[in-house]
Amino acid sequence: MENLLMKLNRYRRLILILSGLALVILVGLMTGRVEAAPASQEIANESCLFCHSQPQMAKTFPNGEVLSLFIDGSTFEHAVHGQEGIACVDCHEQMAQVPHPAFAAQTIRDAKLQLYTVCQECHFDRYNSVLDSVHQTALASGNFNAAICTDCHNPHTQTRITDKDTGETLPEAHLFIPETCARCHSAIYESYKQTVHGTALTEEGNLDVPTCIDCHGVHNIQDPTTSQFRNETPLLCAKCHTDPAIMDKYGISTDVLDTYVADFHGTTVTLFEKTDPNLPTNKPVCTDCHGIHDIKPVKDPQAGIAIKENLLVKCQRCHPDATANFPDSWMSHYIPSVQNYPVVYYVNLFYKILIPGVLGGMVIYVLTDIYRRFIARKKGGAH
Ligand code: HEC
Ligand code: HEC
Ligand code: HEC
Ligand code: HEC
Ligand code: HEC
Ligand code: HEC
Ligand code: HEC
Ligand code: HEC
Ligand code: HEC
């Protein structure tokens, strides 16, 4: 008896294929054609899932890689394409024939690269909009590991991202974004998770902080190592950091851009950004002091740059001779006041009084002089 079961088990795959064949032929006989590319109503998802719902179903590629061919029908039903009534054969037209026609992919990646192009049939604009992104350029130059649609959106399990009525990103989709990028950029993700922004997102579900795509975009990601990207960094951070509607909740100053621009470093960078954004700058932008994928709260007891020793290290990258008190030569983001940088404050105040005082005095002097001469001439002219 046990022997028979084992034998049956061994031939399971064959039995499965034969019964699937029988089913498809039956469906074919009923509808009158099997070969012609059928419309979705004619081949129901169930006839595909008859075979593909077997959890152990897999295919071995010539290089030994094994691809699971299991598709979970109930997950598909709840995913956006299932919900929208898109059928298996709408995306897999050539698989409508069973046994399937030979599929010439040599590796799993090869198979995915061939299959993903179907996205353009329904998402035409989106498909074309990605063509100049870093991933697509990398792909075009032969880096086949660069992200394609299906690396970020599994066609069988992807749930709705935007609200159908408002078009707004749904909170649960928003929270998942960095993990999508982490599939390939895992080191950056691990670092991001520890930042002031990343912990707020991953631990508190805070939607005010930037995910990868707030800084890089999604379908239009550009090379972030160019001079242009660097020169525009202050504006990137300022998008949120000058907005009181966001920052007041956290008690964070919204003067950080203005004070940066007023500073000897920032003035130059801003000028570059306006005149020729491609000019490389040797002055620091926000990320030179705060970090990029490792931004910490400024008062973080270990890495915070409100601590002078931590800040000094940042200055020394460009001012290699800087010593312990060097950061004092710079006003940080402070607007001079009686509390912060009183000397600068009083010097400013002095000039604010002195200059109008001197100029005003001169104007009064000139005016009274003219008046005096005028009166004198009038008197002289009357005789
Ligand atoms: C009789 C069982 C059976 C049925 C029914 C069936 N398939 Fe398959 N399918 C297979 C087998 C076996 C393979 C692996 C073929 C190989 O080894 O190249 C496969 C492979 C695939 C692949 C993967 C191609 C690749 O190599 O990456 C897709 C996609 C697919 N089937 C879709 C479908 C769709 C859509 C339907 C319904 C129209 C369907 N299948 C119906 C047995 C079946
Ligand atoms: C919206 C388009 C779309 C729909 C609908 C769709 N697929 Fe796929 N399918 C794809 C793409 C694209 C791939 C390549 C997968 C990848 O890149 O990971 C794929 C891959 C597959 C594979 C190979 C294994 C894998 O996961 O890569 C099988 C098997 C498969 N699909 C079966 C089905 C079945 C069965 C259905 C219906 C229940 C279905 N597909 C519905 C687009 C679709
Ligand atoms: C046969 C048509 C069709 C194909 C092919 C197709 N899709 Fe879709 N897809 C849809 C429809 C319809 C929706 C729902 C759109 C809506 O309501 O805005 C959708 C929704 C989506 C969404 C969610 C959008 C949102 O705003 O929530 C994503 C992501 C998506 N598809 C990705 C893909 C990817 C990736 C591929 C290629 C593997 C693909 N689709 C292929 C028809 C298709
Ligand atoms: C590097 C990862 C990545 C790639 C590659 C990618 N997407 Fe997206 N996609 C996302 C993320 C993340 C979102 C959510 C965007 C948001 O919340 O604003 C998204 C949103 C979407 C949406 C819904 C909102 C919108 O912008 O329309 C659709 C549809 C979509 N993608 C389709 C595609 C298609 C089709 C491709 C391939 C041409 C593709 N995506 C490639 C990550 C990616
Ligand atoms: C399937 C893997 C994969 C996924 C998923 C992915 N990427 Fe990439 N990404 C790559 C590859 C490969 C490159 C090219 C690397 C290179 O050229 O050095 C790249 C390049 C980049 C670059 C340019 C790097 C440079 O030095 O020019 C950025 C920025 C980037 N990805 C951001 C993202 C973001 C943001 C996400 C998520 C929305 C994401 N990636 C998802 C694989 C991926
Ligand atoms: C607060 C803004 C911000 C966030 C959030 C962010 N990045 Fe970046 N990223 C940058 C900046 C700025 C650079 C340019 C670094 C430089 O000058 O070299 C960069 C560079 C990169 C690069 C290319 C250089 C490198 O280090 O390899 C990749 C890839 C990248 N980011 C991916 C990601 C991913 C993935 C995430 C999410 C986990 C993410 N970024 C989150 C701002 C950000
Ligand atoms: C030359 C280094 C440097 C540059 C450039 C710089 N910062 Fe700062 N930033 C600091 C230091 C140091 C502090 C901590 C000040 C303190 O509390 O003593 C700080 C504090 C902050 C804070 C916290 C403010 C608060 O209320 O707690 C934010 C937010 C900030 N910076 C954002 C930015 C942005 C955005 C830019 C670019 C427009 C930028 N920084 C440029 C060094 C810098
Ligand atoms: C999408 C909006 C957004 C963007 C873009 C953004 N931030 Fe933030 N940032 C926040 C929010 C919200 C917080 C407060 C998080 C919290 O405390 O939970 C924050 C906190 C900070 C802090 C910590 C301040 C403190 O309390 O010590 C620093 C430093 C900072 N950001 C720097 C930057 C820099 C530098 C950039 C650009 C590279 C940037 N941020 C881009 C939203 C943003
Ligand atoms: C990315 C490089 C970079 C970083 C980081 C940097 N600086 Fe500078 N800094 C410059 C450049 C370039 C100049 C202009 C030098 C010149 O014109 O002689 C400058 C000028 C100055 C000046 C004007 C006086 C002088 O020496 O010419 C002071 C003060 C100064 N920096 C302080 C700081 C402090 C404090 C830090 C750390 C908080 C810092 N800098 C971080 C690049 C940088």
Give pLDDT tens digits for 217-263.
999 999 999 999 999 999 999 999 999 999 999 999 999 998 888 88
What contacts 215, CB < 8 A, 6 or more positions away? 224, 236
Exposure string over 201-235, b if 16+ CB within 10 A, otherwise e = bbeeeeeebbbbbebbebbebeeeeeebbbbbbbe
Ligand nearest to the CA of 322: 9
Cβ-in-10-Å burial (0-12, 13-18, 19+) of 334 comes to: middle
Q: Write down the mean pLDDT value for the chain.
A: 85
- CA-closest residue to ligand 6 atom 12: 292
- As a whole-number percent, the residues of the chain with pLDDT over 70 amount to 81
Give the mean model confidence (pLDDT) for residues 283-294: 94
> Residues, the chain, total?
383
- CA-closest residue to ligand 9 atom 26: 319
Please give the pLDDT value at position 337. Answer: 66
Token pair belonging to 219:
């379908």
- C-beta 289 within 6 A of ligand 7: yes
Cα separation of 206 and 208, whole Å? 6
Please give the pLDDT value at position 279. Answer: 82
- Which of 91, 126, 139 maximizes ligand 4 atoms within 8 Å of its Cβ, making it the mutation to test the pocket? 126
Question: pLDDT: is 88 or 7 the higher one?
Answer: 88
Give the position, in ligand 3's atom list, of the atom nearest the Cα of 170. Answer: 27
pLDDT tens digits for range 106-136: 999 999 999 999 999 999 988 888 878 999 9
Task: Specify the amino acid at residue 380.
Answer: G
Ligand nearest to the CA of 289: 7
Please give the pLDDT value at position 35. Answer: 35
Of the chain, the end-to-end C-alpha distance in Å amounts to 145
How many Å lie between the centroid of ligand 1 and the Cα of residue 97?
9
Q: Over 60: is that where the pLDDT of 85 sits?
A: yes
Q: Over 70: is that where the pLDDT of 314 sits?
A: yes
Among the residue ranges 27-31, 85-89, 192-196, the one predicted with the least confidence is: 27-31
- As a whole-number percent, the residues of the chain with pLDDT over 90 amount to 63
**Residue among 297, 135, 109 at smallest CA distance from 220:** 135
The band of 360, judged by pLDDT with boundaries at 50, 70 and 90, is: confident
Cα separation of 185 and 292, whole Å? 14
Cα separation of 178 and 190, whole Å? 10
CA distances from residue 241 to 88, 227, 293 in whole angstroms, order as listed: 46, 22, 17
Please give the pLDDT value at position 259. Answer: 87
Q: Over 60: is that where the pLDDT of 2 sits?
A: no
Ligand nearest to the CA of 103: 1
Task: Specify the amino acid at residue 189.
Answer: Y
CB-based contact 259:335 (threshold 8 Å): yes
- CA-closest residue to ligand 4 atom 42: 152
Cα separation of 332 and 327, whole Å? 8
Q: Over 90: is that where the pLDDT of 21 sits?
A: no
Question: pLDDT: is 40 or 87 the higher one?
Answer: 87
CB-based contact 87:40 (threshold 8 Å): yes
